[in-house]
């Protein structure tokens, strides 16, 4: 049996990108957020038709041609669900998803639909108490309704889900797997760049400009590490054309020119590369979390983000781990997180102006602070890193 899909693509885009008014239209890796979800639904073997509920139908771009129905959004979540479902014939079930799931895959959609149609008895979800209209409907679909956790690390959500169905969690590890083809491509890249010895990775980018550090300081850090430890520098970026351009410009500031991995690796392949590195230096961004899964020494620079909740996960730490401090430079396992110990940190704002501008708390981090952290890590670095191959 096939089902129809309703994608809710509204919401305030300014919470992610101050320049975009509709959340589903915020660009991520070259496509609007909602298009990633549309593609996953459209390529699912179990989806018949796709409808997108969105505040506007004007100037949406070519992705709109992939959907069967565009529905103007209403005043509330429930209104939007009803409007979306009403766009279809009544004899097929309807799957409702939000339009901000860029990691959603067709396989995940198929697995979810198969589980529901097979009558799975356990369905778990989180809620924030906001009245019957916002939370009451979840009780119709979920067998285990869990209150949304407070200030705990996001990785521990998996722990709460497991414990809700009586599965003990003695350890909690974040892993990214890769295959032999990823390893082959990694070795091909290292041979191409004539890297036969130790190397370190610098990822000087984040999705949002307010999480950026100064390019010239990254170059100075890279030169000092390369010159002081004899490691080859490898600088990386996403495939976004603007980011690739910035990568070439920033790396040109280095005295010791780094090898460039300009968006040519998938996330799995990037993790495979990181597992061979002797050190990683980066920002508050996804690649830093990938580096943490490998166990290599790493220095990560944070600005306005709440480290207690979003810091890279230490696989060797306890399940109940948090950053030891609410702010400031601190160490967890092989990671040192650098953040200013200011009263306004973490503010959680998109830059000091709240509109995506620069974050002064990040800009005030100096090169010696980063190099001191590198020195501390490399002085007691184990001989081998922790990686995962499958």
Tell me the domains of the chain and their CATH numbers. 3-120 (3.90.550.10), 180-379 (3.40.50.2000)
Query: Comparing 128 with 231, which gets the higher pLDDT?
Result: 231
Mean pLDDT of 162-188: 94
Weakest-pLDDT range from 24-38, 119-133, 241-255: 119-133
Tokens at residue 55, please? 């505040």
Please write the tens of the pLDDT for every residue from 3-37. 899 999 988 766 666 777 888 888 887 889 999 99
pLDDT score for 94: 87
Mean pLDDT of 245-251: 97
- Burial (CB < 10 A; 0-12, 13-18, 19+), residue 284, is buried
Which residue in 345, 284, 314, 306 sits closest to 151, CA to CA? Answer: 306
The mean pLDDT of the chain is: 88
| Residue 299 · residue 336 · CB < 8 Å | yes
Q: Alpha carbon of 125 to those of 105, 121, 132, 147, 149: distances in Å? A: 20, 13, 16, 9, 12
Does pLDDT of 146 surpass 90?
A: no
pLDDT score for 42: 94
Q: How many CB atoms lie within 10 A of CB 343?
A: 7
DSSP letters of 160-223?
HHHHHTT---S---------HHHHHHHHHHHHHTT--S-EEEEE---SSGGG---HHHHHHHHH
Q: Sorting pLDDT into bands at 50, 70 and 90, what band is 79?
A: confident
* Best-predicted range by mean pLDDT (116-125, 126-135, 205-214): 205-214
Pairing of strands 3-8, 27-28: unpaired
pLDDT score for 231: 98
Does pLDDT of 168 surpass 50?
A: yes
Q: Sorting pLDDT into bands at 50, 70 and 90, what band is 384?
A: very low
pLDDT score for 75: 77
Weakest-pLDDT range from 92-96, 319-323, 358-362: 319-323
pLDDT score for 240: 87
Q: How many CB atoms lie within 10 A of CB 204?
A: 26
pLDDT score for 151: 79
d(CA 212, CA 291): 18
Does pLDDT of 389 surpass 70?
A: no
pLDDT score for 175: 93
């Amino acid at each position: 049996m096939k089902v129809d899909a309703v994608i809710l693509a509204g919401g305030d885009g300014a919470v992610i990108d101050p320049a975009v008014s509709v959340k589903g239209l915020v660009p991520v890796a070259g496509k609007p957020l909602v298009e990633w979800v549309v593609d996953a639904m459209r390529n699912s073997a179990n989806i018949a038709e796709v409808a997108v509920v969105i505040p506007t139908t004007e100037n949406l771009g070519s992705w709109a041609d992939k959907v069967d129905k565009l529905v103007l959004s209403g005043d509330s979540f429930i209104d939007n669900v009803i409007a979306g479902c009403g766009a279809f014939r009544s004899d097929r079930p309807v799957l409702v998803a939000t339009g901000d799931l860029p990691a959603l895959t067709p396989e995940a959609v198929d697995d979810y639909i198969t589980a529901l149609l097979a009558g799975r008895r356990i369905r778990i979800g989180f809620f924030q108490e906001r009245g019957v209209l916002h939370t009451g409907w979840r009780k119709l679909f979920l067998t285990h309704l869990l209150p949304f956790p407070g200030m705990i690390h996001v990785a521990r959500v998996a722990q709460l889900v497991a414990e809700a169905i009586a599965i003990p969690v003695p350890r909690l590890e974040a892993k990214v797997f890769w295959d032999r083809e990823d390893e082959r491509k990694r070795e091909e890249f290292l041979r191409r760049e004539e890297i036969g010895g130790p190397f370190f990775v610098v990822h000087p980018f984040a999705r949002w400009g307010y999480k950026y550090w100064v390019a010239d300081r990254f170059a100075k850090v890279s030169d000092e590490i390369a010159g002081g430890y004899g490691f080859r520098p490898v600088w990386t970026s996403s495939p976004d054309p603007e980011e690739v351009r910035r990568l070439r410009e920033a790396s040109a500031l280095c005295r010791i020119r780094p090898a460039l991995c300009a968006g040519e690796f998938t996330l799995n392949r990037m993790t495979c590369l990181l597992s061979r590195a002797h050190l990683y230096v980066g920002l508050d961004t996804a690649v830093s979390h990938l580096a943490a899964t490998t166990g290599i020494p790493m220095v990560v620079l944070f600005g306005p983000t709440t480290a207690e909740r979003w810091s890279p996960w230490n696989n060797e730490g306890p399940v109940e781990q948090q950053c030891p401090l609410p702010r400031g430079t601190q160490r967890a396992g092989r990671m040192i997180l650098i953040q200013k110990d200011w009263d306004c940190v973490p503010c959680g704002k998109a830059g000091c102006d709240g509109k995506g501008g620069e974050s002064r708390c990040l800009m005030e981090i100096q090169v010696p602070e980063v190099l001191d952290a590198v020195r501390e890590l490399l002085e007691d670095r184990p001989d081998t890193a922790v990686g995962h191959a499958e």
